Amino acid sequence: MAAFHVVIPARYASMRLPGKPLLDIAGEPMVAHVAKRAQASGAASVIVATDHVGIAEAMAVRGIEAVMTRADHVSGTDRIAEVVAIKGWSPVENVVNVQGDEPLIDPVLIREVAENLESHPDASIATACHPLIEAEEMFNPNIVKVVMDRLGHALYFSRAPIPWPRDAFADSRNAIPAGLPVFRHLGIYAYRVEFLHAYAGLQTAPIEQFESLEQLRALWHGYKISVVVTANAPAAGVDTPADLERVRAIMAPA
């Protein structure tokens, strides 16, 4: 497949976990674990995009490239777009956005998303999902759902339970009906550099604001998002102190 880059946005500020990218897991900063897994994906380059000198310095001593970006970005995509401009990558190259708080991400998933974008020339973005099994997860607004067309392009993303099985849920909402194509969206994206050049000029979409889902901006403006159904879904990332302790226990040296 064609070469691709990985950019890992790493913002120091975090309401629930200040300094999250530098939190220690098994003797290494969390974002360093993410970068090493990204390197194992076969990416041509892996870059940590940050607004914090301490993060950049911690990456430098570990041989991981870091790029300093502005502190006023409102999203990780904006931060990645700045890296693309700094690096001068060609419009035909592809970039995978890997979240800096997923130290357990599977390198295979990163490559899957990059390959999916390459194999769908009509899409500007690729992302991933996996089937949902439990009704409780379907109704959880913190779990984003995606509905796709027959070609695997996203029709819509929502925090609401979609698609809605009208007749089945009229009787009971305790289980997902057999055969219902309900998928959990995974927060990993591959972008064409050409799209990232255009992204900064896109008007914020009303549906994006109400759902608090950035990817809806691309759909609202007519860009196609290809979705791969993966068996390599990552374990939950680190959002809370409890998450941090869970991941520390998993990654503790034997």
Kindly list the structural domains of the chain, giving each domain's residue range(s) and its CATH number in brackets, ordered by start: 4-246 (3.90.550.10)
DSSP-assigned beta bridge partners for residue 184: 130, 145
Each residue of 159-194: pLDDT tens digit?
A: 999 999 999 999 899 999 999 999 999 989 999 999
Q: What is the pLDDT of residue 251?
A: 86
C-beta neighbour count of 188 within 10 angstroms: 22
Contacts 24+ apart (CB under 8 A), 59-62: 59/31, 59/32, 59/35, 62/28, 62/32
Average pLDDT over residues 77-106: 90
The predicted model scores a pTM of: 0.90
Each residue of 16-32: pLDDT tens digit?
A: 778 889 998 998 999 99
